[in-house]
Structure 1
């Protein structure tokens, strides 16, 4: 009955202390963490006190304080866990001090890897605090991790002037520390060996995978080089074809210009021979008109070729050949009609 009453009083105290905390939706989780650490470590008890930070700011915080037994052969330490207002998103603040009966002869070690000898605060170098994450970590897990770390390297050391008096009492401590260090070093070496072997195996697999990828990339690079060379050859061939086509076009235009310059103006009819009969004039005019019509058609085809998308060069040459042949016959018919009358 007394135990139930004490537990109820603890819950009431914790709930009252969590009222000003910043995350009201997570008060149930904070209460669960506090009750769990009090259950796992009965020497700790909750309280509400004023916490003064390094900057001098004071805040009323919930804390759990009590003696923490690290090992049966090692002296206990006084542990205080402060819960900041941002808990559980911020890790708790842990402080370690010598217990009251042995505080006169023991002090915090200056070169301890986890505890600051000036303030007693547990540093963030403790792996559990360094990797703090919600909701995987808790107060009970922090205390268990701290017990393992302090068992490996105890934070208390004899004060100057008391070494001889307590030499017999510190010998078991040193023996326990040496034994724990040896066991932990052996475990660490074995784990490092296993991790090194596993890592080396993964590295070998990654190297083989990278080699295969490198070979595939080289094949792709060779294929791309061949494709680029083929495209370059095709570009040179097309440039030569375009140059040849432009040369033929220039020659054809020169020939057309030379041919059209020999044709008399359409508006001025050539003088008829004085002896030309009246019946030969219509035939000559018809042949001459057909010849000039062919010139206009060739000019239209030339403009269409210059536009680029109305007619192709092959179609242009084909039609010009046909029109040139037709123009030749019209010119021959006109000249024949004139010469026949002159001979008469």
Structure 2
């Protein structure tokens, strides 16, 4: 295990540095990650230093730094991996600098910022960082593979390394030296082109994100307006339902009062004038009067059904309109028959 192979001083340093971290239940996992990357990459060593962020905030953080050989044929880089207080839920902060003072970083590199040395989140391993799948050793392995394909140092740095190789390698022919120099130039051009493409792609992505954010704000405003309209309509529907219920209750009281106060009609008295007259249209009058009274009874029955919830308000209004129209014609026919 990595913990058993690490020196006792390193374990004590790591444990002391992890004391102020935010997730005490995961300190064993963080210590495992740190000791694993130190064992796999012996050139890195742990230390505790003050890290200052872009907004000026500073914190004492655990870090692992040291020269890292990307490839035997390429010059090493000086790597620094900072562990934020929220680690492992927040990915580490990685910086890559030239190991030689005369070297410089490639402008517009797809993964490394040539001004600050910060490794961008465009590195696939950093972009897909998740717990517990990701680790420091996996991050450094991914960074080595990415920088091996696209080295962050400029052509001058490659030339300096090639000059050292010429002094250390005896018997190298001018053809081999020219071939190595051309290879370095091509790699530098490829890195510059990849950097420009990555910068253009990031610019397009930023524009798309801005446009989508503006659209999202507009849709959110429309959604709020629709919610307010729906709430207003719900309140209006509730108010109308209460008004209809109150009207039906008042109508029921009026009908009860009318039935209580109105005297019962005497069929003999109602039919006396027509019987005495002996006119030939008496059967027609009787038929119209009976239809008028039947329509009135049907309207009362519909009102009771509405009060009991057996009939909807729309259906009640529809049927009452039809019955009222028929009752009007029967009443008119009865008046013409007298």
Scaled by the length of structure 1, what TM-score is found? 0.51
* Alpha-carbon distance in 2 for matches of 1:85, 1:173: 44
Structure 1 residues 198-277: aligned runs within 5 Å: 266=273, 269=276
* Alpha-carbon distance in 2 for matches of 1:150, 1:60: 29
* Alpha-carbon distance in 2 for matches of 1:305, 1:121: 90
Structure 1 residues 106, 135: closer, same or farther in 2, change over 3 A? same
* Alpha-carbon distance in 2 for matches of 1:177, 1:86: 41
Residues 202-233 of structure 1 show CA distances to partners (whole Å, capped at 9, x for unaligned) of xxxxxxxxxxxxxxxxxxxxxxxxxxxxxxxx
* Alpha-carbon distance in 2 for matches of 1:8, 1:163: 39
Contact 1:151–1:177 (Cα < 8 Å) also in 2: no
Give 3-state SS (helix, strand or coil) of 1:71's partner.
coil
Q: Is 2:154 the counterpart of 1:157? A: yes
Structure 1 residues 1-344: aligned runs within 5 Å: 7-99=7-99, 103-159=100-156, 166=163, 172=180, 175=183, 266=273, 269=276, 299-305=289-295, 308=298
Structure 1 residues 165, 145: closer, same or farther in 2, change over 3 A? closer
Structure 1 residues 174, 145: closer, same or farther in 2, change over 3 A? farther
1:105: Cα distance to partner? 3.0
Structure 1 residues 299, 105: closer, same or farther in 2, change over 3 A? same
Scaled by the length of structure 2, what TM-score is found? 0.52
1:20: Cα distance to partner? 0.6
Contact 1:63–1:80 (Cα < 8 Å) also in 2: yes
Contact 1:73–1:176 (Cα < 8 Å) also in 2: no
1:142: Cα distance to partner? 0.8
Match of 1:244 in 2: none
Structure 1 residues 50, 173: closer, same or farther in 2, change over 3 A? farther
Give 3-state SS (helix, strand or coil) of 2:104's partner.
strand
CA RMSD for the aligned pairs?
4.1
Structure 1 runs (4+) greater than 4 angstroms displaced: 3-6, 162-165, 167-171, 176-182, 267-270, 291-298, 306-313
Structure 1 residues 104, 144: closer, same or farther in 2, change over 3 A? same
Give 3-state SS (helix, strand or coil) of 1:145's partner.
helix
1:74: Cα distance to partner? 0.8
Structure 1 residues 173, 266: closer, same or farther in 2, change over 3 A? same
* Alpha-carbon distance in 2 for matches of 1:146, 1:5: 24
* Alpha-carbon distance in 2 for matches of 1:65, 1:172: 30
1:33: Cα distance to partner? 1.2
Aligned length: 209
Give 3-state SS (helix, strand or coil) of 1:60's partner.
strand
* Alpha-carbon distance in 2 for matches of 1:164, 1:147: 18
Residues 264-314 of structure 1 show CA distances to partners (whole Å, capped at 9, x for unaligned) of 9539956xxxxxxxxxxxxxxxxx7xx97995575233321355477999x
Give 3-state SS (helix, strand or coil) of 1:94's partner.
strand
